[in-house]
Amino acid sequence: MADPEPRLREDAARNRDAVLCAARSLFAERGINVPLEEIARCAGVGIATLYRRFPDRQALVRAVFEPKMR
């Protein structure tokens, strides 16, 4: 049976973590309507990298808050 969520490359996982950390911080400071471009810039990645992992704002918000909701 195939793994439902394939493992990310080390750099991709690092970028995903950086985006989540930046989003978490900016959401706490300014709410969830912070521009995604600003989140990407704060994370040190391009906007395409953010969208590669989180296709829309809802996916990013869900990923940020999911651990707290468990």
Q: What is the DSSP string of 5-43?
A: SPPPPHHHHHHHHHHHHHHHHHHHHH-TTS-HHHHHHHH
Q: Which tokens is 13 given?
A: 């996982």
pTM here? 0.84
Tens digits of pLDDT across the chain (70 residues): 444 556 878 888 999 999 999 999 999 999 999 999 999 999 999 999 999 999 999 999 999 998 777 7
